[in-house]
Amino acid sequence: MAMQSGKVIRLQSLRYSIGNSIIILQNDGFSSRYGHLEKYSEKIIGKSPEDIKNKILIREDFDRELSKTEEIFVEAGEIIGYSGDTGIGPAHLHVELFKDDHYYNPSSFLPPTDTKGEIQVSEVELIPLSDNSYIEERHLPFKVKITKQGDRFSINRIEPIKVKGSIGIQLSAHEASSKSNRIGFQKITTYLNGIEKQEINFFKIKISHMFKSCFIFDNYKSNMSGRPFKYILYNKENDIINVFKNKEKNSGSITSSELKLDESNLFEISLDGLNGKNSKVAVYLKADLQEYPAIANDKNENIFPEKSNTIISDDKLVSTYFPTNSVFTKDFFYIEKLDSKVEEQGIEQISPIYGIRPDFREFNIGFDLSFKFINNNTNNDKIGLFGINEKGKILRFYQTGIYNSNEQSFKIHLKSTGYYSVLKDNTKPLVRLEKYKNGHVFDRDDFKLYLRARDSGSGVGENGILVTIDGEEGKLDYDPEANHWEIFYPAKMRNKGSHLLEATPTDRLGNIGDKIEFNYIVK
């Protein structure tokens, strides 16, 4: 339902993003967007321009701004669509509320909900932030499980945690909004011995800061697929994102010099959820007065946010270019050459496997990879750049890699590190029809036909299956999460009588698989 009265100014259907979505300019000056809809309401479809209706019919992506004469007026509480799982992600309603270059938390503008879910906390992790930082006498991260007592949580140990130097704290927690759904918190505040250390307030955030979520969430842990939310409770850089109340680097962290000597210190985390719900996490700390030998730090940073750098492999065949602002934080990167081999039938390894290390996720605009190879085979047909794991297993094919035959090289822009190799793909893809066997009889005309393709090399792309029904070319809707194709056109595929479906797969490097045939009858 529409949050407020206003007018629909934009309609979208983006299968690899927000799915079916509606953007409303509200009378109060805010704009709201509702995404991943199964379908629009009858009114929205009925009043939509004809070109949008046609694209909906043939399931074609669109991102269409409505003209002044096309705008659709809606009232607060009016049904505008039906929630679903179009686009990327499981079934959920994606809601945005924005104004003047800021996203606002929709829960702050809606009446209280009847959610009965509770705040859940699973783990606290302490991180050493400097070479002379120790936790429980070790220069390593330290994790502790949590015990719940009413609406309070505490670490599952009797003795306080001994710390020395500068320590950051991370929290794995979420609020359950029902039996299975999980959402983030509205605000998190930390205190040391009753004095506020940091506040992370999700009331509003600059639109330009949204992609900097790595400074609040460990993105590897925090996602909608069911992994726990993991919050970083200290500011990792100066004034990097506007949800932090204290802007200085490492504000929210703890230094052992702040702790009371020879007694337990209380680090408390206050978690604000929906409807004024609040829970607190208690972590008891003690200053470690022991002296430790200096750490020999051989990890000298070579990539910095404020300048560009290039790293080249020892054999000069692989290089990475990190432009200015490629990363959010400085770090050390290197190129590793592996001895492992890719051993899959139909795959010929053209180059060694090289790794861009470490496994790193805090990229801003990413880096450029240049990958040269020496191919003694003059036939460079069906070669490509592939992502590999350290054991030589193919993970993915990089379709966006630009191949230069004169230089025998691939160039690509990436936002994650990994292992790479140039491979020649001679595998033939396979396609099959799901669920039904040849000669199936459908009693009704509302059936659905799905194809699934398999390929051990470059894979079958979105448009990699050619389908005809009774000789007429069909249309397919690819679902990348389910990894299947739904045949939804031509309309005559559901007419009464006998039909012949034929499907032929082609992988991304041009290998053509065998055609399958499926005869069926509609009663």
Residue with tokens 């009378």: 27
Beta bridge partners of 232: 170
Give the pLDDT score at 374: 84
Closest CA to 169 of 247, 255, 287, 240: 255
> Does the pLDDT at position 33 exceed 90?
yes
Contacts of 237 (CB under 8 A, 6+ apart): 215, 249, 328, 329
pLDDT, greater one: 493 or 359: 493
Beta bridge partners of 74: 6
* Contact call for residues 520 and 444 (beta carbons, < 8 A): no
Give the pLDDT score at 470: 97
> Does the pLDDT at position 262 exceed 90?
no
- Residues 18-26, mean pLDDT to the nearest whole number: 97
By 3-state DSSP, what share of the chain in percent is helix, strand and coil, each rounded to 5?
A: 5, 45, 50
> Does the pLDDT at position 232 exceed 80?
yes
Q: How many CA atoms lie within 13 A of 134 on its CB side?
A: 16
pTM: 0.84
Tokens of 243: 């949800």
> Residue 509: which pLDDT band, with cuts at 50, 70 and 90?
very high
Tokens of 269: 């985390």
3-state secondary structure 151-163: CEEEECCCCCEEE
The class of domain 430-522 in CATH terms is mainly beta
- Residues 129-142, mean pLDDT to the nearest whole number: 94
- Classify 258 in phi/psi space as left (phi over 0), alpha (psi -120 to 50) or beta: alpha
CATH of domain 6-99: 2.70.70.10
Give the pLDDT score at 226: 60
Instruction: Specify the range with the lowest mean pLDDT, choosing from 104-118, 263-277, 308-322, 414-428.
Output: 104-118
Instruction: Specify the range with the lowest mean pLDDT, choosing from 81-85, 173-177, 311-315.
Output: 173-177
DSSP states of 285-314: EEE-----PPP-------B-TTS-EEEE-T
Give the pLDDT score at 301: 87
DSSP states of 168-208: EEEEEEEEESSSS-EE--SEEEEEETTEEEEEEE-SEEEGG
Contacts of 451 (CB under 8 A, 6+ apart): 431, 432, 433, 434, 465, 467, 476, 484, 485, 487, 503
- Residues 254-274, mean pLDDT to the nearest whole number: 94
Could you read off the pLDDT of 369-422 as tens digits, one per residue?
A: 999 998 776 577 899 999 999 889 999 999 999 999 888 999 999 999 999 999
* Contact call for residues 350 and 385 (beta carbons, < 8 A): no
Give the pLDDT score at 377: 67
Give the pLDDT score at 360: 85
**In the chain, what are the domain boundaries?**
6-99, 119-287, 309-425, 430-522
> Does the pLDDT at position 324 exceed 90?
yes
Amino acid at 490: P
CATH architecture of 309-425: Sandwich (2.60)
Give the pLDDT score at 426: 93
Could you read off the pLDDT of 333-350 as tens digits, one per residue?
A: 999 999 999 999 999 999
> Does the pLDDT at position 116 exceed 90?
no
For all residues of the chain together, what is the average pLDDT?
93
Tokens of 479: 């679902």
Give the pLDDT score at 218: 87
Tokens of 323: 């432009």
Could you read off the pLDDT of 190-230 as tens digits, one per residue?
A: 999 999 999 999 999 999 999 898 899 988 788 766 677 89
- Residues 39-49, mean pLDDT to the nearest whole number: 96
CB neighbours of residue 242 within 10 Å: 15
Distances, alpha carbon 86 to alpha carbons 49, 78, 362, 479, 484, in Å: 21, 21, 28, 9, 14
Q: Is the peptide bond before 228 cis (omega within 30 degrees of 0)?
A: no
Give the pLDDT score at 323: 96
Give the pLDDT score at 225: 61
Closest CA to 163 of 255, 235, 234: 255
Give the pLDDT score at 177: 75
